Copies of this chain bind each other. A is one copy, B any other.
Amino acid sequence: MSEPAATQSGQGPASRACGGGVGAAGARFASLTPLLNPRSVAVLGASTDPTRIGGRPIAYMRKQGFAGRIFPVNPRREEVQGLRAYPSVADLPEVPDVAVVAVSAELAVPAVADLAAAGVKGAIVLTAGFAEVDEAGAEAQARMVATAKAAGMRMLGPNCLGLFNARIGFYPIFSSSFENGWPRPGRIGIVSQSGAYGTHLFAAARDRGLGTPLCVTTGNEGDVTIGDVIGWLAEDPETDVIAAYAEGIRESEGLLAALAAARAARKPVVMMKVGRSALGTAAAKSHTASIAGDDAVTDAVLAEFGVVRARTTEEMLDIAQLASRRIYPARNTLGVMTMSGGAGVLISDAADELGVPMPEMPADAQARLKALVSFCAPRNPVDCTAQAFNDFSLVGRFADAVAGDGGYSSILCFFSQIGGAPSMVPKLRTELNATRAKYPDRLYVLSVLAPPEVVRDYEADGFTVFEDPSRAVVAIEAMGRFGAAFAAAPDAAPPSVPVVALPAATPSEAEAKRLLAEAGIPSAPERACPTADAAVAAAASFGFPVVMKILSPDILHKSEIGGVLLDVADADGVRAGFATLLERARAAAPAARIEGVLVAKQLQGGVECILGIHRDPVFGPVAMFGLGGVFVEVLKDVVFRRCPFGEDVAERMIRSIRGAPLLLGARGRQPADIKALARMLARLSVFAHQAGAAVQAVDLNPVFAMPEGEGAYAADAVIEIGGT
């Protein structure tokens, strides 16, 4: 099982080469280069035992031929594993690019200080016993980080397994996962908060022949986060695909910049973020010092940048494997070819479920295929039938038709064991390669049962092989999502909203509505009217019908005395209603002070929605949209988005919920005023963004989305003031 290492003489890394002109985020990412691609490394706590934490990195680098200089540091040894050892950092013959810290927790803090003082640019702290343990550990970690930051030194860890960069034979890592083989050459980069999971992913990738020459585990993320590493990989010219594993997102700035950089560089990011469930979240907290943020918020942020979230390790590797072909269809369509009908149905089911379109073949092409094999299935799935055994050129002609006439961006051929039968493989490769040569821009996936050596041949030809056709469809769908994200027009700018001066404490409902109105977020219009004339004027300004309510500080239960009139349809009705309400009030409560009548726009015709804001500890204000009542309470049918955003994004959010048909005119209803709702949501997002930490939450519940052209209005509003 042992494989040759992917060691290559290290060229200058991406960020070193292009670190000059990429702005603040670029500089931030480029500062990781000494950690990931150094020319020299010191190992503090260097051990002569090649199985100990301080021994493994040296042993691995020696074995894999690290292209740079290695300086063991150990005050009790002159030599470590055949290399000259130095008593202290101060004694080193040069300032190394990076240092591995493998000393005890007590010694790690001064060691980091020594490194910072010496001008070392990167520290990889393997030592555990910090924020993951207790408060004292968290404090020690904070001191260490502060020292590093003050000196401009980047620090990986503490409590991390380390990293490897197989391209230069750099192995500052104490994993035991190389017993069954070293990393293969390739262009997939791995970053993982969990060391065990990061190396699990590398080993699983290696076992299926995928190259992951770079793997970074971030541990407690005292300084370097997965965002930093994603950003560095986004700028690394030798990386095409980024696979990330997170338990909790600890900071947003670096991650957002990194995801933007990856998208700009057309590099797919596939991420597994665990802690989806309440159960999972509990486990995440006990495992590391993570703050496992709200999973729905993370989901929204990842979707915003076109990151595909993998649900299983297998899916993560499937997607990374197919992504390595670097074909990301902006408008994905799937053409399926089989030599037997059976699996076509199965594949159609999977495509339908994931929303991958499988348009029919053009009619003329179908007729042509029917002329070739009368009992073939020419629509899509296209089945050339077992007739191909009699005339193998049929495979090529059918494949040509699928790629050429069908014009599908993704082509899945299900050949099962036929694709692995020694008597068939050479003929199959000939036919398929001819088609591929004619249409090289398509994503070709084979579902075959074949021995590993045959799979390797197909892969070398340019076909990606997944034994299971359903897994193939999942990976193909992901390529379409990457393509759509890479091709998407930039989102519209958030609307310009006046900055609203906020009170120091949570305001009353009326005050909250007034503040929101300043930001252009309308509540149901209502006005206190002392006279019938004023009531008529108010109603006319709102539009009919209106609701009229008796206005008296002494009458609390208005409806019990007939003090509420619904559906008042015109000015005469308002005038009559004014008289009626006053009369009823006098009759029922002769002593009550009567201030007049409250006239409000009647909103009953609208669809009940909820718009909200809550402050995520990592990503700041996050907007939520959902339908009211049971949709939110029982079905959790809501959508989230980081603030601020524009009306286009808001409308996409509104249309994305499961209950959206209710707003779009389901069951014979009039369509609701989606534009007004989107305007309201976008303005709310800007309001919250501008308010910053002063606003803890906003709850507009219910909001009535009126029929098209008639607006959307909050009927209740709460603004929770908090923070600083």
Point out residues on A near B: beta carbons under 8 Å.
1, 133, 176-177, 179-180, 192, 194-197, 199-200, 203-204, 207, 245, 247, 272, 274-280, 282-284, 286-288, 311-314, 338-346, 348-353, 358, 375, 377, 379, 381, 383, 389, 416-418, 420-423, 449-451, 467-471, 629-630, 633-635, 658-659, 661-662, 666-667
Q: How far is the CB of A468 from chain B (nearest CB, A)?
A: 4
Contacts of A284 in B (CB 8 A): 345
Q: Which of A274, A375, A417 has the most CB of B within 10 A?
A: A417
- Please state the number of chain copies in the assembly: 2
Q: Are B280 and A311 in contact (CB under 8 A)?
A: no
Given known A416-B203, A471-B312, contact A277–B343 (CB-CB < 8 A): no
Q: How far is the CA of A200 from the CA of B470 in the complex (A)?
A: 14
Cβ of A197: which chain B residues have Cβ within 8 Å of it? 340, 342-343, 346
Closest to A199 in B: B417
Q: Which of B313, B340, B662 contacts A470 (CB 8 A)?
A: B313
Contacts A282-B348, A381-B283: A200 and B342 contacting too (C-beta < 8 A)? yes
Query: Is B180 touching A449 in the complex (CB atoms < 8 A)?
Result: yes
Q: Which of B314, B341, B375, B633 contacts A666 (CB 8 A)?
A: B633
Which B residues lie within 8 Å of A276 (CB)?
349, 352-353
Cα A470 to Cα B630 with chains together (Å): 32
Task: Name A660's closest neighbour in chain B (CB-CB).
Answer: B634
Partner of A280, one of B177, B207, B352, B383: B352
Question: A350 vs B313: C-alpha distance in the bound complex, in angstroms?
Answer: 12
* Contact across chains for B275 and A345 when beta carbons are under 8 A apart: yes
B633 pairs with A196, CB closer than 8 A: no
Contacts of A180 in B (CB 8 A): 417, 420-422, 449-451
- Give the complex CA separation of A274 and B473 in angstroms: 15
- Measured in the bound complex, the distance between the Cα atoms of B525 and A353 in whole Å is 44
Contact partners of A389 in chain B: CB under 8 A: 176
Complex-state Cα separation, A444 to B276, whole angstroms? 25
Q: Can you offer 26 A-B residue contacts whose CB atoms are under 8 A?
A: A133-B375, A176-B389, A176-B417, A177-B421, A179-B420, A179-B421, A180-B449, A180-B451, A196-B339, A196-B416, A197-B346, A203-B416, A204-B467, A207-B449, A245-B342, A272-B346, A276-B352, A276-B353, A280-B346, A284-B345, A286-B377, A314-B468, A314-B471, A633-B661, A633-B666, A634-B666
With both beta carbons as reference points, the residue of chain B lying nearest to A377 in the complex is identified as B286
Q: How far is the CB of A293 from chain B (nearest CB, A)?
A: 14
Extra contacts besides A283-B348, A629-B667 (16): CB < 8 Å: A176-B417, A179-B420, A180-B451, A196-B340, A196-B341, A197-B346, A200-B416, A200-B417, A200-B449, A207-B467, A279-B348, A280-B348, A287-B342, A287-B377, A312-B471, A630-B659
| A378 to B, closest residue via Cβ | B286
Q: How far, in whole Å, are A314 and B314 apart by their CA atoms in the complex?
A: 11
With CB as the reference atom, state the residue of chain B lying closest to A343. B197
Taking CB atoms, residues of chain B closer than 8 Å to A247 are 342, 345
Specify which chain B residues have a CB less than 8 angstroms from the CB of A195 in the assembled complex: 340, 342
Contact B470 A196, beta carbon cutoff 8 Å: no
Q: Which of the listed residues A351, A635, A658, A659 has the most CB atoms from chain B within 10 Å of its own CB?
A: A635
Whether the Cβ atoms of B449 and A203 lie closer than 8 Å is yes
Q: Is the CB of A279 within 8 A of B352?
A: yes
| Residue of chain B at shortest CB distance from A418 | B176
Q: Which of B277, B311, B422 contacts A352 (CB 8 A)?
A: B277
In the assembled complex, the Cα of A422 lies from the Cα of B245 at a distance in Å of 27
Closest B residue to A275 using CB positions? B345
Note all chain B residues with C-beta closer than 8 A to A418: 176-177
In the assembled complex, the Cα of A274 lies from the Cα of B346 at a distance in Å of 5
CB nearest to A658 among chain B residues: B635
A375 to B289, CA, bound (A): 13
When distances are taken between beta carbons in the complex, the residues of chain B under 8 Å from A377 are: 283, 286-287
Interchain CA distance A469-B379 in the complex, whole Å? 38
A379 contact from B286, B314, B344, B659, Cβ within 8 A = B286
Query: Which residues of the other chain, B, contact A348 by a CB distance below 8 angstroms?
Result: 277, 279-280, 282-283
For A277, give its contact among B353, B468, B659 (CB under 8 Å): B353
Q: List B contacts of A381 (CB < 8 A).
A: 283
- Docked CA distance A204–B180 (Å): 25
Kindly list chain B residues whose C-beta atoms are within 8 Å of the C-beta of A272. Answer: 346
Closest chain B CB from A627 CB (angstroms): 9
List residues of chain B with CB within 8 A of the CB of A421: 176-177, 179-180
Contacts of A661 in B (CB 8 A): 633-634
Contact B277 A470 (CB under 8 A): no
Q: Are A279 and B417 in contact (CB under 8 A)?
A: no
Query: Among the interface residues A207, A313, A469, which one has the most CB atoms of the partner chain B within 10 A?
Result: A313
Which residues of chain B are near A344, meaning CB under 8 Å?
283, 287
Compute how far the CA of A358 lies from the CA of B667 in the bound complex, rounded to whole angstroms: 42
How many whole Å from A453's CB to the nearest CB in chain B? 10
Q: Give bound CA distance, A406 to B165, whole Å.
A: 41
Cα–Cα, bound, A352→B200 (Å): 22
Q: Is B635 a contact partner of A659 (Cβ separation < 8 A)? A: yes
Complex contacts, A470 vs chain B, CB 8 Å:
311-314
Q: Which residue of the partner chain B has the closest CB to A627?
A: B630
> Are B417 and A630 in contact, CB atoms less than 8 angstroms apart?
no
Q: In the complex, are the beta carbons of B451 and A341 less than 8 A apart?
A: no
Partner of A630, one of B314, B468, B666: B666
User: For A383, what are the chain B residues with a Cβ–Cβ distance below 8 Å?
Assistant: 287
